[in-house]
Structures are given as C-alpha cells and as structure tokens.
Structure 1
C-alpha cells in the first residue's frame, strides 16, 4: 500500500525502536528516485546582483524596486518619542519567534506582528518584525529594532530569522513582501544583516545583503565542518499547487557565494515544508519536513545535492506544523516538536498523546495539533527519540526555535495563541540535556515559559469584539 494512502503509524516515544534499515524496508516511498541534479542558484533565487550605488533604485525614496535595500529601525532608545507606531501596546497579533545567543551570553529574539490584523499572505501588509534582547539570561526583555517595509509601497514583513554563522556572528534575515502587481521578480525578497556589536542592546548592523526571492528565513542554516552552509528554502506561494517543485536547499561557500540549489522531489502532502537538516555521524544528511498528517523525512548522501524521500516518520508528531532538529555537542540530537497524535473519531479528528506507559490520553481542553510543545532527545542520529520533556501545553503552542549557550544550556522559544485574547505570547524556556533525560527539570538554573513578550501585559493585545 502506498504511503500516501496509509494512516501515519503512531508509536510512543519510549517504545519506538525502529532502525532506519527497517524503516527503509517498510516504507514504499523510501526507494523513490533521487531528485533532479542540483540546479543553478540564479534559476531559483533570481539574479541577486545589485545595481550600482548611484542607481535610482538604491536611493530611497526616489526609486523603489525589489532591489531597493531595506533598513532596520531602532526603537526604545534614549530620546525616542514614547508614542512611536511600533510600541507594544498597539500590537494585536504576533508569532513565529526565533532565538539566538551572543558569545557573551546576550540573548536575542525576533518575531513578526501587526497592529491591525492577523497574518495576511502573500504580501503581509501591515506586518513588521521585532528584534528584542535580554542581558540577564532571559528574565527581562527590551524591543530594540524593527524591520518594517511599510514605507516601501506598503510592503510587509514575514518569517524573520536569527542565526549564528560559522564565525560566531549573529545574523538577522528579514523577509520583505511588496505587491508589485507581478512586475518585479523580487516582490518577495530575503535580506540578511549582520550584528556588529552583539553584546550591546542597540547593536550596529552591516548593510543588508540580498539573498534571493524565496523564503529563506524560517529554519536556521546547517553549518558543515568546512564552514559552508546549507539554507532551507520554500516557495510559499506555491503551497497547495500540485506538481510544483517547491522545497529546496541553497548551498553557500564560506564567503556566501551560492554553490548550488537542490530540490526535493515533489510531494503534494507537504505543507509549508520548514525542513531543518542535521549531519549524521556517517556524514549523511537527515531532515523532517512538515506534511498533512505529521512529519515526513528525507535523506541525502551527497552533501545535500540530491535527496531521497522516506515517507512518514513512524512516530507521529507536529502534524502540519513546524518542528526543529539540532545536533548537540554531546552527539545527541534534539527535536523540539508538538507531542500530539491524531486519528479519526465519529467522522472528525481525535487528538491525543501517548504517555510513557503506552497509554493514549485524549486531549480534552486544547483539541489541536498545536499544543504540548516538547523537547526530545535521540541517542541514535534520529532513528528513535526515547527521551522527552513537556515544555508547555497551555493553549495553542507552536513554532519552536532553539540555540545553545556555552554552558550547555538549551534556549527554546515558541509562540502561544498568536491572535488570541490575552495570549499572543512569546515564551522562552531554558533547559539542559539532563532535564530531558530525566523528563523533568533537574538543573537548578533551568526554567519553563518565561515571558519574552505579551502585549496584553502592556495594555495592548486583541480585545473582545475585535475582528482581525
């Protein structure tokens, strides 16, 4: 029976013992053909060559094209008017956070939000991205920069990213969307800024670099031992359109030069793929990607140039929502995901989780796939995830991001109820491997669900009667 017509196989994390050799023999799609050979980056990213500095497009506001550079706006600084348009008590929607940490221990977070509406794809008018920082380990936070393209023909921001490059510099990617009525190849464009003073709350920034005209900002890049990187890409405008190549990777050299773009074979089960590969001990690559009934997986045995699809992973989790993978210094693999399973009941959907004793527990309060944010650990390169620790099950919880401190701490952010009254919260948890192995906090410095941002705590947020 083809995997597309088969219900996802559900197993508890503690009893899942399939080896990849068994997985590959059981899943018919695993033997699917490799994707086409890697393609030229320009054929996917567009021509990212920038016009000369004296070109009218580089001299905002005199000429605006998809290559007019964006800028970051400093907020909440000495001397600023208190009633600026990005202040938190005007915000009614926010979500999709990312987190990073400087070498000196300063935490940085970013997410997108709006004063007027919920998310509106594909151009996201009325949305901006916030950059916030904490100098005390995540106890308190201050919003210090905003990426807001609204002055450029009503552009909007979506899916911001913070990540640490091979040299330890923190970079921010802003995704800009402008409705050029189909007359500009860079209506969607990803721009990357590098922090110059990451230990200061109002750091200086490098000029932005144009990465391409695709979404390259949802998942952190994979860094290879030779310091080349692999960026995850997705063409979100093609979601739901069958038989379109959409899920890709961009390989760059140490200087940022594009080397190739590779493509996953078409999978019409895939939603917003949000793939995040790891390097296994044998040098091969492994990634999950978001699909209709859970997470599917793919593998590459040539450094990301070609990929094999493996079908649905035997453990069901993060049903059509984002999860993240990260290899820890210990060699264990961290997975942060929604610990929810799903099947049919009386013509509808039943959401449940399986506890450590193998008992199924139906969700009563939060009947959604986006709850029970959980940290898992694998001892075997992602074949199984026997260790897990619940982080948060308070409402709709989704879109994790993680970074590692020098002391072994794991910092994880995620959002709660993006447009829900009293919620739209960005949470931060700090845990260790020992916590996950124990299934509970055992480290004295660990904490769960500190508030990074919640507009309703500052007089903002969605109110009764608001229609977003």
Structure 2
C-alpha cells in the first residue's frame, strides 16, 4: 500500500509540473513541446531492488534471473594462463570505446568486441567488453578485465562505459543482454561497478549495482555542482518504432537514489539518441541528440525535468552517429564530432566538409558520414563552434569519448573500421584548448592517434574470406 500511495503522489507531482510548464509556455512562445513528462523511475527502470543474498537468483549457478549479478573477469594477470579465451589475437571485431583517467593519472579505456562476429543486436550474443589501462600516458596499454555474460544463458555485452563520479572514483557500467524469451523485465540490464583502487592495474571492484533495464551506458552522466548526477537513457529496443517515448534522463541523488526520470517529447527523427547535456552559464541545460540528418538540440530550464526540442542544429555534423559535449574548466564547450556534411545531388548523397577558407570540399577517399573526427570549441555556450582541429580522417572513424587530465589535457578515444580487415582499431588523441584554438597541435605534449588496441598487430583481426 505505501508503494501505491507513493506512486500516486509522484504521478500527481509529474502532472502538476507538466501543467505549470505548459501554462508558462503559452506566454513564452515555447509551446506544448516544452512539456516533457516526468515519470516514476520504477515505471521506466523496473524495480531495481535486489533480492536477499540467499535468494535463488543470487546463488549462481543454481538460479539465473535478470537480477543475477554479473562479474568482471581478470585477464593478463601474471598468475593467469596465457591462453584465455578473451585474448586479443582471437578478436575480429571491436568498437564503441570510452576513456577515463584516475586522480593519479592512470588512463582507463573500455570497448566491446567479439571473437566470432560483428555486432548482433538486440542480445549481442558472443560479445564481451574489454577494460584496458595505461600508466604511461597512453604509450602502452594492457587489457586487464573483461565483462562477459556469455556463461549466463548465452548473455552478451554491449555499450560499456567508464566515468568519474563526484568523489573522483572511476566507475564502469556494463550492459548485459540475455534472451529470457520475454519472461524477465531485466533481459537487458545496466550494472555499475566502482574501482576501489584506480591506480592499480588489477584493482578490486565494488559489488555490482543494478541501475535499470534500459541502455544507460553510452553517454557519461552530467555531474551537478551539488554532487547529484543526470544519466542519459535510451530504449534501443524501440529505435525505428514510431510514436514511442524512448529518450529519457535519470536524476540521481548523491547517495544514488532516483529523484526523477524525465522524458523527451516524441521525435521520430531520432535514432540512437546518445544525448549528453551540459550546464550552461545561466544554469540551464543544453544537449545534442543523434538524428537522421545530423544533430538535433534540446534545452531544459528546470534542471532536466522538462525539455524543449530545438530541431536540427544549423551546423551539420555527426549525421546519424555519436558526438559528445563537455564543458571545460575555462568555460568553453568542447564538442567532438564527425566534421562531415551531406547534400543531395541528382538523387545521390554527396558527403563534403568546409575547409579553413570556407570552401566546400567533397570527400573523395572515404565517402561516409563517419570520418573526419574533429574537436571543436564554443565560446558562447554551444550557440556556435568557431574553432576546430582535425583529429583523424583515416577511414571510418566514429564514437568519441573524452576525459580531462589535471594539466589541461583533453584525452579523446574513438574507433576505426570496427570489422574492417587491418583496422578495428581504438585510437587515443591527447590535445589542449590551445591546439583547438590554433587549428593544429601547438602543445608539445599533445599527440594524435596513438593505438590503444588493434588486434591485427597481435596476429588477430578479421582476415580475407571471413564473413562476420
């Protein structure tokens, strides 16, 4: 009964807030699209309360449900046999990297891959997530953990994430997918582990925490000054299904308890939304989200409870692919995205970019929206991005992630040719604001495209004749 009363109260609060914003919108010109509903977190995430430790679901291998906790597996430790099944010379597909840095300067990266196939949604069978680390500023890397749910009813991993919480602790999120034939609401589930010693390559970890049954692991959470966070969510199972609410945010208190879940108004142009908001100087929130013809924008003036959709951003970039936003200590806004535009010519798509002289240049070698990974800077809270530096245009380049070092360094990872012979590479670039302002590397410590991982350098990778 208390839970029912709480649900009713939350619903009334949501509707009241929605009505107030809608009423205000009549006078501000925002219109009804401002009214993105705030809903009960349980109705979106599922009931994330864990059963008692002696419950059958917690005593694997005797019982398996969507709430059976996953685990991280240590690899490449001196006590481990060298021929474990996750070794890099068996891998033929990988991509979607993330990067984070410890308080002491140790770099961490994660991505997902497979020994047998390319990405296979929705359950991602035979996929696992790799966690790798570097203690020498990205010169050398060592794979040290994997997140592999394959022993649990053939479960697979997708879209891992690393981020640093308000206390400076590095956290890992693994998305697990198990085909329960529609009988378990946590067939897809996001689990979060916290490093207990991020300076140690084989750190111990906290017990995993169940976050929910949505994709909540693609974009780093937004950390507010008071230590609360806003997590980006998307229901990837509904991508392509019209008139369905998919794009959401979860606001969490400092202790991790949910405060609210907010929803975007329906936008059938959105694909895998991959929204990543920033806090603007006036305290409002701004985000891009992935759409069919470029990036669309949205803004919130109440801490993420309600959102106004802004339509396509005037500058076309990252067409139907991921970009990231981050506010830098200077107050400038960093955007990392694919610097490619698209136009129709005679019924054909023409991919092009604008050079430093303002001239349009057609892509001739790599005719794709996923190339020319570029770092931009905005001086005006994301209204315009007037400075940029090209990071990589060597093939199909996508899915950036960034973190900030204490010395002003900006570390950025992205993938190249996930299943392409000789590629499937994870790259790392290190730049500064000065580099972006200059349009070229001017800082002596900066570098572009160090290899974090390339299986073909170790005897692995896709080979001629392989079909994946």
One fold, TM greater than 0.5?
yes
Which structure 2 residues correspond to residues 110-259 of structure 1 after superposition, within 5 A?
110-259=110-259
Structure 2 Cα separation of the partners of residues 64 and 448 of structure 1 = 45
Q: Whole-Å Cα distance in 1 between the matches of residues 413 and 210 of structure 2?
A: 27
CA distance in 2, matches of 1:204, 1:272: 33
1:9 counterpart residue number: none
Q: Which residue in 2 is equivalent to 1:342? A: 342
State yes or no: 1:302 paired with 2:302. yes
SS at match of 1:436: helix
The aligned residue for residue 422 of structure 1 is: 422
Shift of 1:409: 0.2
Query: What are the superposed Cα offsets for residues 221-266 of structure 1, whole Å, 9 maximum, x if unpaired?
Result: 0000111000000000000000000000000000000010000000
Give the secondary structure class of the aligned counterpart of 1:33: helix
Q: Retained in 1: the 8 A contact 2:41–2:261?
A: yes
Offset at 1:356?
A: 2.0
- Aligned-pair CA distance for 1:346: 2.1
How far apart in 2 are the matches of 1:267 and 1:36? Answer: 12
Aligned residue runs from structure 1 range 26-425, under 5 A: 31=31, 33-425=33-425
Given that residues 37 and 264 in structure 2 are in contact (C-alpha distance below 8 angstroms), is that contact kept between their aligned partners in structure 1?
no
| Alpha-carbon distance between aligned partners in 2 of 1:334 and 1:108, rounded to the nearest angstrom | 21
Q: SS of the residue aligned with 1:63?
A: coil
3-state secondary structure, aligned to 1:376: strand
Once residues 316 and 31 of structure 2 are traced to their aligned partners in structure 1, the CA distance between those partners, rounded to angstroms, is: 21
C-alpha distance in 1, partners of 2:254/2:456?
A: 43
Residue 459 of structure 1 is matched in structure 2 by: 459
Question: 1:345 offset after TM fit, Å?
Answer: 1.6
1:422–1:462 contact (8 Å) kept in structure 2: yes
Residues 49 and 327 (structure 1 numbering): CA distance in 2 closer, same or farther, change over 3 Å?
A: same
In structure 2, the partner of 1:14 is none
Structure 1 stretches lacking a partner, 5+ long: 1-28
Contact 2:250 2:258 (8 Å CA) reproduced: yes
Contact 1:100 1:162 in 2 (8 A): yes
Listed one character per residue, the Cα deviations across residues 128-166 of structure 1 (whole Å, up to 9, x for unaligned) are 000000000000000000000000000000000000000
Indicate if the aligned counterparts of 2:285 and 2:299 stay in contact, CA closer than 8 A: yes
Contact 1:35 1:263 in 2 (8 A): no
Distance 1:220 1:56 in 2: 33
SS in 1 for 2:43: helix
Instruction: State the match for 2:434 in structure 1.
Output: 434
Q: Is the 8 A contact 2:300 2:306 kept in 1?
A: yes
Counterpart position of 1:17: none
Q: How high is the TM-score relative to the length of structure 2?
A: 0.93
> Cα RMSD (Å) of the superposition?
0.8
Cα shift at 1:43: 0.3
Q: Displacement of 1:36 after TM fit? A: 3.7
SS in 1 for 2:33: coil
Give SS of 2:52's match: coil
Q: Return closer, same or farther for 1:298/1:30 CA change in 2, 3 Å cut-off.
A: farther
Larger relative contact order, structure 1 or 2 (CA cutoff 8 Å, min sep 6): 1
Q: CA deviation at 1:200?
A: 0.5
Gaps of 5+ in 2: 1-28
Q: CA deviation at 1:325?
A: 0.1
Q: Report if aligned partners of 2:317, 2:341 keep a CA contact under 8 Å in 1.
A: yes
Give the distance between the partners of 1:138 and 1:305, measured in 2 at CA: 39
- Quote the Cα distance in structure 1 between the aligned partners of 2:348 and 2:51: 54
The CA deviation string for residues 69-112 of structure 1, in whole angstroms up to 9 with x for no partner, is 00000000012111110000000000000000000000000000
Q: How far, CA to CA, are the matches of 1:262 and 1:271 in structure 2?
A: 18
Judge conservation of contact 2:36–2:305 (CA < 8 Å) in 1: no
Following superposition, the deviation at residue 35 of structure 1 comes to 3.0
> 3-state DSSP class of the match of 2:201?
coil
Aligned length: 440
Contact 2:93 2:424 in 1 (8 A): yes
CA contact (8 A) 2:101 2:107 kept: yes
Shift of 1:357: 1.5
CA deviations 1:33-65 (Å, max 9, x no partner) are: 223431010000000000000001001100000
- Whether the aligned pair in 2 keeps the contact of 1:32 and 1:309 (CA below 8 Å) is no
Q: How far 1:32 sits from its partner (Å)?
A: 5.0
Paired with 1:396 and 1:33, the residues of 2 have a C-alpha distance of 36
Q: CA shift at 1:390, angstroms?
A: 0.1
3-state SS of the aligned residue for 2:44? helix
Instruction: State the distance in 1 between where 2:295 and 2:242 align.
Output: 19
Please say if residues 376 and 386 of structure 1, whose CA atoms lie closer than 8 Å, have aligned partners that are also in contact. yes
Q: What is the rounded CA distance, in whole Å, between the counterparts of 1:87 and 1:196 in structure 2?
A: 25
TM-score (norm 1): 0.93
